[in-house]
Amino acid sequence: MKALSRLLAAALVALLAACGGGGSSSSPAASNPVPNTPDPDLPEAPRAGEGEIRVLSNRADLISGGDALVEITADDSALLSGAKVMLDDREVTGQLTATSEGTLKGLLGGMVLGANTVTVVLADESVLERQIINHPNGGPVFSGPQLQPWQCTNEQAVDAQCNQPPEYTFQYVPANKLESLLTNFDPENPGLPQAFQPYDPANPPADDSIARITTDEGVDVPFIVRMEEGVMNRDRYLIMTLYQPDQPWTALTPQPQWNGKLLIHHGGNVGVSYGMGEVPRGDIAGTAPAGAELLLGDSITTALARGFMTLSTAQANLGHNANLVTAAESLMMGKERIIEQYGEIRYTIGTGCSGGSITQQHVANAYPGIYQGLIVQCSYPDVWTTATQFADYNLLSNYFGNQLPTDPQGFQEVVTSLLTSGVIPAAQWSAFYGHLPLNPVVSDLAFFPSAYPNQEDCPGLQEGVAVYDAETQPDGLRCGLLDYMINQFGPRDPSVWSSNEQLVGRGFGGIPLDNVGVQYGLKALQSGLISGEQFLRVNREIGGLSVDIDYQAERTVADPQALRNAYRTGAINTAEHLAKVPIIDLRGPDPGIAHDAYHSWQMRARLEQTQGHADNHVIWYGPAPLFGDTVFTTEALLVMDLWLSGIEQDDTATPVAEKVVANKPVYARDRCLSVSSLFGPEGPIVPLTGNLLYPDPILPGLDLSLLPPAPAEAGVVVDALSGQVCGLDVSELPVVSELPVLGDVLGTLGELLSPLTDPILNLQQTVVQTRFGTPRTVAGDSIETLTNKCQLKPVDPADYPLALDPEGFADQVADIFPQGVCDYSKPGEGVMPTQTWLQYGDGQQVIYGGAPLADDGASAPQGWASPAFEVEIR
């Protein structure tokens, strides 16, 4: 780089001299200029080559860890023969290998932090040049100043960023899983033994005691998995893949059993932490105990058996880290490492329940390209509209006295509160909750405290750190979601500072939600489910939350900057950028332990609002609470793989969003009966059997693959014939229209019966699918519930038609809402589209609310996915 800089500087001097620059205007040279006369003592400027330096493992300005997988191309590939490659002033030609495609490819290592210049001098002396920006392995890359303090809990840490050398271990699946299950069962330690057993390469078990697996590309190998565990972005990651311990593996020559596909699995819940966490290792949000994958399904083991690689990071576990940006950053860094150490990726599928669904849908919308397909279970669309729902639950439960007692005296207080709240216990709770009471109560108890824990219980915090106390420690660490997200939301404006903020001289993290003008129970009042007095009393006394997330008599008031930034940054999932991503949503009925089934249709409504359709969104509804069916995770992986492989092979010029719809397999359809899984893409998958029968039956001699697979259309027929039970619209089902006889019969029958079946269908959407609502839908918001703060309108007597005196009743409402009430016919305050790939500064300087990445001229990390997916980072 220094030599090239000197060369360019010399060329510039020569140019200035030739033009008379820097000399006296009365000199002979100036009066008799000789244009374009080179100085024979200065070298000529380098000639730009015709070719490209591609950075495959990430965008060139987002590289981390000191290395990058690059590929060098030339319009005339012969010019690469004898080419010289420099990394700054160091020759690195030996790190590259000539490929059969006529390129040079290799892992360039030893990069310094900051700018690095790769220079290629081709055989004709022309030059290619590319700058690569390298960031610390410990981060940040684009998330801005990191959360402090941070506790490293790994004994191998070599610095304050928790960095350590990666560690490698092996596991294997026994050939006789039933025997392994029986011999390893411990009656004193209830639970099923894990499917995998430790494998020691120095002392391996006998070959015939290891199961063999045939991947989806027909490669037959022992079922041995290598686990790479290490640290990046100050937290743990885990990479697993089928591995032959006696064979080499490089990014240019992967072992043949890897099919180039990646499955990212996630953890559940929502929370914050000030220290390292553990990576999620199980399926179904990591909530299944070890060994239970045999009964509850396990797409991770299935994926490994088919040849997938898997990735999990602690930072992308929402229960450990509720920060969307650092979660995306860790996944980006994880994909980069896989490409650099193992090879380029064809496509990436996400999977996970609860918090795992939020991470996927958050990240896919705000940082598109990380995933090519999503499998979400017991899902929510995001954290911050869900936070509004849970805050409403908390306020209503507080009003109802609907809290679990902690002692006998507390029990008496709870009973007294229930009897004096002015609302009939249980019978009328749903009229305000918009839901059966169990889910709101459980969500209030389970999620609300973890999202804003007691300061003395702050997770991951090392001893000796002073924590916030409003009375005794106002300058202490504030442990909670708002301050955890301060880079994204920004601090509160001085005009609204509390006394403690004024005391410490800084604003706390802003609040991106609000209940000013919300008429709790409005639709229940309009339908006669509650009395006018009950409506008035609840809305008069409901109160709100302070910046410390403590109850207050006044309503919660959103901070304008935080509200706008919640939409802008993707913390509220507005769903504008999901059309290129197929989504399979796996759902069971309520009560789903706070996982309201309505959230699946909430996400669909958002997609329909932004895209004009939801053809990339599939809902599988089953009988098991939370996850629908124990075979859903496995079957969804097969269907998503089929869907993405179709897109991958589509080499037309069609936009990716259209390819997603055009290549949607018949298996990817809405359904509500688990029996449809009998018509799976690889033969029958028996409902509610977990992984007992797939991918390899645990009972010897039982081979379901011997059964002839039924055509996919058979599943459609089952769905159509049971359409009223499932709540499906028969006319909308794919393939039905392509079967003339069936289509005509069902169409005619549907027209004749629709006056009778439509009311039943609407009822079943509530009774079967449990499509309940939220306190905000009861207050008048739409199913999208994207309004965290509403626009206001004057109180209108027409909204209270059942009142004996609507005008007088409206006057009482106006006394409660002097500023007006919510007008849900208008967009919410601060609503704006999510901006993609925002960055929040560097390790020292923060950009609150984020800013777009600079245009690097080549934003496609070509190793992230096959060309058909057209991945860009911008």
* Tens-digit pLDDT profile for residues 125-158: 999 999 999 999 999 999 999 999 999 999 999 9
Q: Does residue 589 have a pLDDT over 60?
A: yes
CA pair distance 381, 378, nearest whole angstrom: 10
Q: Which two tokens stand for residue 718?
A: 């089952």
Nearest to 62 by CA among 864, 867, 869: 864
CA pair distance 31, 77, nearest whole angstrom: 48
Nearest to 335 by CA among 326, 325, 344: 344
CA pair distance 569, 128, nearest whole angstrom: 36
Q: What is the pLDDT of residue 669?
A: 87
Q: Which two tokens stand for residue 116?
A: 């690095």
Q: Which two tokens stand for residue 653?
A: 């010029």
Higher pLDDT, 161 or 703: 161
CA pair distance 781, 775, nearest whole angstrom: 9
Q: What is the pLDDT of residue 304?
A: 95
Q: Which two tokens stand for residue 444?
A: 């209030």
Least-confidence region, from 100-114, 140-154, 347-361, 450-464:
450-464
Q: Does residue 33 have a pLDDT over 50?
A: no
> Under 8 Å CB-to-CB from 468, ≥6 apart: which residues?
455, 474, 475, 476, 477, 478, 479, 548
Backbone angles phi, psi at 341, to 5 degrees: -100, -25
State mean pLDDT over 105-113: 98
Helix (H) or strand (E) segment spanning residue 376: strand 373-377
Q: Does residue 486 have a pLDDT over 90?
A: yes
Least-confidence region, from 483-497, 708-722, 808-822:
708-722
Q: What is the pLDDT of residue 702?
A: 76
Helix (H) or strand (E) segment spanning residue 535: helix 532-541
> Under 8 Å CB-to-CB from 206, ≥6 apart: which residues?
none
Average per-residue pLDDT for the chain: 87
Q: What is the CA radius of gyration of the chain?
A: 30
State mean pLDDT over 232-248: 97
Amino acid found at 162: C
Q: Does residue 102 have a pLDDT over 50?
A: yes
* Tens digit of each residue's pLDDT (9 = 90 or more) over 51-78: 999 999 999 999 999 999 999 999 999 9
CA 849 to centroid of chain Cα atoms? 19
Q: Does residue 8 have a pLDDT over 60?
A: no
* Tens digit of each residue's pLDDT (9 = 90 or more) over 632-686: 999 999 999 999 999 999 999 999 999 999 999 989 988 877 777 788 888 888 8
**Is 720 in a helix, a strand, or coil?**
helix
Q: Is the Cβ–Cβ distance between 80 and 104 less than 8 Å? A: yes
Q: Which two tokens stand for residue 168?
A: 């490698």
CA pair distance 672, 275, nearest whole angstrom: 42
CA pair distance 239, 337, nearest whole angstrom: 10
Q: Is the Cβ–Cβ distance between 443 and 594 less than 8 Å? A: yes
Nearest to 264 by CA among 194, 336, 356: 356
* Tens digit of each residue's pLDDT (9 = 90 or more) over 441-477: 877 776 777 667 777 889 999 999 999 999 999 999 9
CA pair distance 489, 570, nearest whole angstrom: 11
Higher pLDDT, 255 or 682: 255
Q: Using 50, 70 and 90 to split pLDDT, how confident is the model at 591? A: confident
> Under 8 Å CB-to-CB from 309, ≥6 apart: which residues?
239, 240, 241, 258, 261, 262, 263, 338, 342
Least-confidence region, from 294-308, 317-331, 685-699:
685-699
Q: Using 50, 70 and 90 to split pLDDT, how confident is the model at 527? A: very high
For the chain, what's the residue count? Answer: 874
Higher pLDDT, 457 or 258: 258
Least-confidence region, from 2-11, 221-230, 287-296, 719-728:
2-11
Q: Using 50, 70 and 90 to split pLDDT, how confident is the model at 289? A: low
* Tens digit of each residue's pLDDT (9 = 90 or more) over 730-785: 454 444 445 554 445 555 555 655 665 566 566 656 666 667 889 999 999 999 99
Q: Which two tokens stand for residue 724?
A: 């009223």
pTM confidence score: 0.90
